[in-house]
Amino acid sequence: MKQPYIYGIRHLSPAGAWHLRRFLDEKKPKLVLVEGPSDLNDQMENLTRRETKPPIAILAYTKETPIRTLLYPFAEYSPEYQAFLWCKEHKVSCRFMDLPSEVFLSFPEDVEGGNDEGEEGRRNVYAFLSQKAGEDGQETFWERTMEQASDTDSYHEGANVFGRELRNLTEGQDRDWPETLVREAYMRRQIADAIAEGFAPEEIVAVTGAYHVEGLSDGTLQPMTDEELAHLPKVEANHTLMPYSYYRLSARSGYGAGNKAPAYYELLWEGFRQGEMMHAPYSYLSKIAGYQRAQGNPVSSAEVIEAVRLAGALAALRGGTIPALRDLRDAAVTCLGRGSFSDISLAVADTEIGTTIGALPEGVSRTSIQEDFYRQLKRLKLEKYRTLTAQDLTLDLRENRRVSSQEAAFLDLHRSFFLHQLRVLQISFVKQQQVKQDNATWSEQWVVCWTPEAEMQLVESALKGDTVEQAASFQMKEQVERAADIGQIALVIEDAFTCGMASTVKYAVSALQAMAVDAVSIEGLGQTVHRLSTVISYGNIRQLDAAPLEPILKQMFYRACLLLPGACVCDDAASKEIVTAVEQLNAASLAHDFLDGQAWISALKETARRDDLNTKLSGFAMAILLERGLADSAELKLEVQRRLSKGIPADLGAGWFEGLAMKNRYALIARLSLWEDLDSYLEELDEEEFKRALVFLRRAFADFTSGEKDEIAENLGEIWGLNGQQVSEAVNQTLSGEEQKMVESLEDFDFDL
Amino acid sequence: MEQEVLRLPAEQLYQKEIDALIAAEKDAVPEGWRMSPRSVKTYICGGKVGGVEITPKYIGHERLVEIAIATLVTDRALLLIGEPGTAKSWLSEHLTAAINGDSTRVIQGTAGTTEEQIRYSWNYAMLIANGPSQEAMLKSPIFYAMEKGSIARVEEISRCASEVQDALISILSEKRISVPELGMEVPAKKGFSIIATANTRDKGVNEMSAALKRRFNIVVLPSPADLKAEMEIVRTRVEQLSGGLDLHAQLPGQEVVEKVCTIFRELRSGETLDRSQKVKTPAGVLSTAEAISLLCNSMALAGSFGNGSITEEDLAAGLQGAVVKDEGKDGLVWKEYLENVMKKRGSSWSGLYKACKELNE
């Protein structure tokens, strides 16, 4: 009986693709079987549509978390891809014949890395081969021996020998050997089924990795039985097509899943199609030269010619006539890079890898979230940003009054919503830049860059919802449920607001309400109030009604007022955060009339007045009262005298002063009476107390600018009856040795006294 | 006569190997060459031909050797660049020895090299007596190489003044020398080329012009890639050298070579081999060539004043001299290395550590 033709190839091999087409032309099969998950047959049609531009990949993924994925990338020069095209052109049926992706995805994961690539497991075989191949591994070996094969028979025969030898070397020792056996039994079954269907064996061509040729053509091996088939493990899986990129092909190099130099391999493919084996070498070196010139590094044609000659000589040393990639790169380094690779490394990356990305026709069996993503890109006129090169995007959220339609007027706002939703989903397509100008809330800076990773993240988000907005909403709801404190919920509210998702805001607010009842930390409250307050203040630029936020803000603000005096019993380390919170709360009370201002003021007054609190915070409360005009000079004078009187420990007094000096310094400096009080306080102290006070006051003045310090010095000078000139001289004099010593002696000050 | 020469040229030293390679030649031999490019590579990188063991002359980075040979096949000039002691001259000598059987067409580039030494000069007595004539002409090595179709070498090209370098430009592009005094032009025969070497530490002394660089294919020779390669180089070279020098001492053992190479690599790269610790680097280069001479030196010490095998003291003296080139700065670097790295290396290093420490007290 005749046997079906088994054609062994290497994935992503231009020569394989070329010779496979010759082979198909010659044998004129009625059915072509291709190694690839057999449940993906429905993608075949889309793979070969005219609008489809490789590189593309089939991505299969589990329906349940944790998501596992299986990726089958195809470039234009993939033999499999050319087989699909050939079948379409000749109206011949074409099928995948490997195990279904559901079975693949249920195999236990590799220990190292994920088993997310169909042929990843072959790695160890190929590592072994690389070792044996010498020079620089199996890639170059393969290129020199196989890619340059000029006739179809020798390629076919060579690939078979290659696969057979490889198999003999590793049979049974390979970690994936059991998996290999199962796969081959399944593939044999597929072939047998096809014959049973009525195809004559000689009308069938099976395209498979050279490694499997032996396993498929050995007549003594039996196809998988029904019973065995039923025993295969399975997980539920979906699959989709996705655009791929040369960059990713090169990054995931290794057998099957990619190759290191996709753009170069494309040149090889072009060479085959033009029947010109030197096409790739010439193009490669000219492209590097072109890139160098574009970057402003002069490269002469004479140098390119020298590089071609050198590459030829290098190939000849290995007994070849056509330079391999390695020869070309070395020649480029020597002749175009003047001996150093770093000079041309960018040009090499551009020429070997390139920035090509694939494309799929609209509506091609993507997941619904991908559909939505691309629909949104189109609606928001963002399609031109779908490139591998990162681009800046500046948004102006205000209404554009020069356009007629509502949609166009708020285009940037809607873009912002969309980009924020992607940000929440952690899809690496977008990245927000910090804007320097603090309050320019109508302006946003983004960096947009498409990568296959972004596409995969998108596909993985498919579990969260059918559209980008739904997925973002799901994500935020999850965050709310997981939130451990009110600050995290406030963050979600802010996110939901920037995403323009009112219903999520509502959901998060009610969650916040539930949690805020138990909130006791003034820092957390301050932060939350601040976030909500910002959202309310600037919310109208996003065309969202902030009203639902007001009650919760009110409630939390009032709560903070009640908590404030109690929270001020703390040490200096903790006081820093409370200062921030007080400042945030104060800003909120000024920004919104609906907040209970009176409660806030009485909380501040209490904090300022009480003696049993952290004095720095009391001082700070006083400073706010002064700033808001709620305390006058007389009150300040009284307070200064009370706080800075003999008998009060110096650190407390100075701490209070530090707090007071944290705000409205100019006003303080201008009040002469304040400095008189400080002066008379210091006069009263004895030597030891003075030293102590000095240490703390020094700290209080540490973050004053030198200009401010000068003015204080002048104030004091005035009190002591000196004129400005003299003070300035005294202050700016360098310290004498003795003075220096005195200052230094303070460093050893014992705080525990 | 052989006994009196300190160092024989490569083609005489390795006569046997070259003859064996020529006898066993199977591939096409380029015009003007004595063996095929592949045989040249075997000569440089080692192998076995017709029962004769070919010793490797340049170890590691075989691909660079291939690029160098391929360059000469395409009749381009070759420029070898690298740190001092990375075997640039060594490689250039052996390339010419294998390709032409003659490595002696050398111009030593110095600040005092003149244009005449690149082109030709005159026997002035004859010039004055008889006027310009072929006989009165003193041909430079390059001139000879052009006439014979062989390869000339220019050592330390970046040490030459720029007008001397410029003289090379026209020779390399026209491939001919004109002698206006005699009204003649000498075209280069097929096979003519130039191998130049330059030192990266000399950068800026006489920076090569872009025009001259463009006429060379440039190959950068790096320091040995790893400890194993460097040990291999040191071991082979010390073996070869000590044979010629009558040192009356045993060859250094494997662990001695390893210690020296380890110290050199660590001080050169500024970190310990396991990358766990940073160390300061001394001002000197600490090239592989220096490691080789250090070991030969230690063998000389052991042979002349000791019992014939290298002791820790001999080694310590050699290391001291190699590392500490500038007493003040390098001395500190070396002491720090001794204390922070070597002392903690355990018992196998303790002898060397003590010996080194003694010298520094």
Dist. CA A495–CA A484, nearest whole Å: 17
Q: Which of B192, B221, B112, B125 is nearest to B159 (CA)?
A: B112
Which is more confident, A658 or A111? A658
Closest to A576 (Cα-Cα) out of A639, A528, A526, A516: A526
Q: Which of B142, B166, B169, B172 is nearest to B154 (CA)?
A: B142
Pairing of strands B47-49, B176-179: unpaired
Residue of B nearest to A312 (CA): B70
Dihedral, CA atoms, A612, A613, A616, A618, nearest 10 degrees?
A: -90
CB-nearest to A317 from B37, B76, B220 is B37
| Shortest Cα–Cα distance, B80 to chain A (Å) | 9
Contact A685, A650 (CB under 8 A): yes
Q: Is the link from the previous residue into A55 a cis peptide, with omega within 30 of 0? A: yes
The pLDDT value given to residue B93: 93
- Where along chain B do its domains lie? 2-221, 227-359
Chain A residue closest in CA terms to B37: A317
Q: What is the pLDDT of residue A253?
A: 47
Given the structure tokens 């700070």, which residue do they identify? A620
Within 8 A by CB and 6+ apart from A191, the residues are A4, A33, A97, A204, A206, A216, A223
Whether A285 shows a pLDDT value over 90: the answer reads yes
> Could you tell me which CATH number the domain at B2-221 has?
3.40.50.300
**Rounded to an integer, what distance in angstroms lies between the CA atom of residue A9 and that of residue A213?**
9
Which residues in chain A touch residue B38, judged by CB atoms under 8 angstroms apart? Answer: 317
d(CA A700, CA A679): 15
**Region A611-635 average pLDDT:** 83
Residue stretches of chain B with pLDDT short of 70 = 1-3, 202-205, 244
Give the amino acid at A669: I
CA trace torsion B98, B102, B103, B106 (10° rounding): -140
Nearest to A310 among B41, B74, B214 (CB): B74
| Predicted pLDDT at B342 | 86
Query: Which chain B residues touch A309 with a CB distance below 8 Å?
Result: 74, 76
Q: Which of A317, A338, A340 sits opposite B70 (nearest CB)?
A: A317
Nearest to A338 among B37, B67, B213 (CB): B213
CA pair distance B54, B71, nearest whole angstrom: 23
In this complex, the residue of B37, B217, B220 whose CB is nearest that of residue A335 is B217
Mutation target to probe the A interface, by most A beta carbons within 10 A, among B69, B195, B214, B215 is: B214
CA dihedral A577, A580, A584, A585 (to 10 degrees): 60
- CB neighbourhood size of A362 (10 A): 11
Other CB atoms within 10 Å distance of the CB of residue A60: 24
Domain residue limits, chain A: 5-243, 278-352, 368-464, 637-753
The ipTM assigned to this model is 0.80
Nearest residue of chain B to residue A300 (CA atoms): B214
pLDDT of amino acid A435: 65
| Portion of chain A with pLDDT greater than 70, in percent | 89
Distance CA A581, CA A354 (A): 52
What's the pLDDT score for residue A421? 87
Dist. CA B99–CA B148, nearest whole Å: 13
Q: Which residue of A has its CA nearest to B39?
A: A317
Q: Determine, for residues B37 and A330 on separate chains, whether the beta-carbon distance falls below 8 Å.
A: no
Rounded Cα distance, B66 and B121, in Å:
36
Residue of B nearest to A311 (CA): B70
- Min Cα distance B326 → chain A (Å) is 32
- Taking residue A490's Cβ as centre, other Cβ atoms within 10 Å add up to 27
β-sheet bridge partners, residue B199? B82
Q: In the prediction, which pLDDT does A332 show? A: 92
Mean pLDDT of chain A: 80
Q: Is pLDDT of A118 > 60?
A: no
CB B301 within 8 A of CB B317: yes
Beta bridge partners of B47: B54
* Cα separation, B78 vs B99, whole angstroms: 14
Both tokens of A698, joined, read: 């020094």
CB contact under 8 A, B69 and A316: no
Fill in the amino acid letter for B240. Q
Taking only the tens place, the pLDDT of each residue in A558-592 is 888 888 888 888 887 788 888 888 888 888 888 88
Per residue in B180-239, pLDDT tens? 888 888 899 988 999 999 888 766 567 788 888 888 999 988 888 888 888 888 888 888
Contact at CB, B37 and A313, closer than 8 angstroms: yes
Do the Cβ atoms of B76 and A306 come within 8 Å?
A: yes
A and B: number of Cβ contacts within 8 A: 50
Cβ within 8 Å, pair B218-A334: yes
For A153-172, give the DSSP string: HHHHHHHHHHHHHHHHHHTT
The Cα of B167 is separated from the nearest Cα of chain A by a number of Å equal to: 21
- B-chain residues near A312 (CB < 8 A): 74
Which residues of chain A are within 8 Å of residue B219 when distances are taken between CB atoms?
334, 339
Three-class SS state of A665: helix
pTM of the complete model: 0.67
Do the beta carbons of residue B208 and residue B198 sit within 8 Å? yes
pLDDT of A290 > 50? The answer is yes
Residues 6 or more apart whose Cβ sits within 8 Å of residue A175: A121, A124
pLDDT on residue A120:
42
Alpha carbons A579 and A703: distance in angstroms, whole number: 16
In this prediction, residue A109 carries a pLDDT of 60
Q: How confident is the model at residue A134 (pLDDT cuts 50, 70, 90)?
A: low
**Residue B218, min C-alpha distance to chain A (Å):** 5
Cα–Cα distance for residue pair A653/A661, rounded to 1 Å: 12
Q: Which residue of A has its CA nearest to B71?
A: A310
How distant is the Cα of B38 from the closest Cα of chain A, in angstroms?
6
Residue range A611-619: average pLDDT? Answer: 84
Q: What's the CA gap between A592 and A536, in Å, rounded?
A: 9
DSSP B227-240: HHHHHHHHHHHHHH
Residues A310, B66: C-beta atoms closer than 8 Å = no
Strand runs labelled E in chain B: 47-49, 52-54, 77-82, 106-108, 120-122, 137-139, 151-155, 176-179, 184-187, 193-199, 216-221
Tell me which H or E stretch contains A287.
helix A279-294
Task: Among A314, A317, A338, select the one facing B218 at the smallest CB separation.
Answer: A338
d(CA B63, CA A590): 74
Do A309 and B41 count as a contact with CB atoms less than 8 A apart?
no
Residue A123 has pLDDT above 70, yes or no: no
| Assigned token pair, A121 | 């497991």
Q: Is A338 on the interface with B (CB under 8 A)?
A: yes
Question: Taking Cα atoms as reference points, which of A303, A274, A273 lies closest to residue A286?
Answer: A303
Cβ contacts (< 8 Å) between A303 and chain B: which residues?
214
B278 - beta bridge partners? B271
Is A309 an interface residue toward B (CB < 8 Å)?
yes
Contact A614, A569 (CB under 8 A): yes
Chain B hits for A339, Cβ within 8 Å = 79, 81, 218-220
For residue A284, the model assigns a pLDDT of 93
Q: Kindly give, in sequence order, each residue whose CB lies less than 8 Å from that of residue A339, ignoring residues fewer than 6 positions away.
A: A333, B79, B81, B218, B219, B220
Give the model's pLDDT for residue A746.
Answer: 67
What confidence score (pLDDT) does residue A254 get?
45
Q: Mean pLDDT throughout A344-349? A: 88
Contact B219 A334 (CB under 8 A): yes
What are B's interface residues with A at a Cβ cutoff of 8 A?
37-38, 41, 63, 66-67, 69-71, 73-74, 76, 79, 81, 213-214, 217-220
Per the CB < 8 A criterion, the answer to whether A146 and A13 are in contact is: yes
pLDDT digits (tens, 9 = 90+) for A375-397: 788 888 888 888 877 888 888 77
Q: Is B187 helix (H, G, I), strand (E, B) or coil?
A: strand
Domain A368-464 class? mainly alpha
| Among candidate residues B330, A751, B346, the one with its CA nearest the CA of residue B360 | B330
CB contact under 8 A, B70 and A310: yes
Give the model's pLDDT for residue A574: 82
Choose from A285, A297, A326, A334 for mutation: most chain B CBs within 10 A.
Answer: A334
Tell which of B74, B86, B158, B209 to mutate to test the A interface (max A CBs under 10 Å): B74
**Helices of type H across B49-135:** 62-73, 88-100, 115-118, 124-130
Tokens read off for A249: 């092909």
State the amino acid at position A50 in one-letter form.
R
Kindly state the tokens that stand for A451: 């990568």
Q: With an 8 Å Cβ cutoff, is A314 touching chain B? A: yes
**Burial class of A395 by CB neighbour count within 10 A (0 to 12, 13 to 18, 19+):** middle
Nearest to A567 by CA among A522, A599, A518: A522
- Strand A69-74 relative to strand B47-49, pairing: unpaired
Tokens of A389: 């090169």
Task: Check if the beta carbon of residue A80 is closer than 8 Å to that of residue A36.
Answer: yes
Give A342→chain B minimum CA distance, Å. Answer: 12
Q: Counting runs of H as helices and runs of E as strands, what totals does chain B give?
A: 16, 11
Counting other chains too, the contacts that B280-284 makes at CB distance below 8 Å and 24 or more residues apart are: B280/B332, B280/B333, B280/B336, B280/B337, B281/B333, B282/B323, B282/B324, B282/B325, B282/B326, B282/B329, B282/B330, B282/B333, B282/B334, B283/B325, B283/B326, B283/B329, B283/B330, B284/B322, B284/B323, B284/B325, B284/B330
The closest of A712, A711, A715 to A697, measured between CA atoms, is A712
**How many CB atoms sit inside 10 A of residue A358's CB?**
22
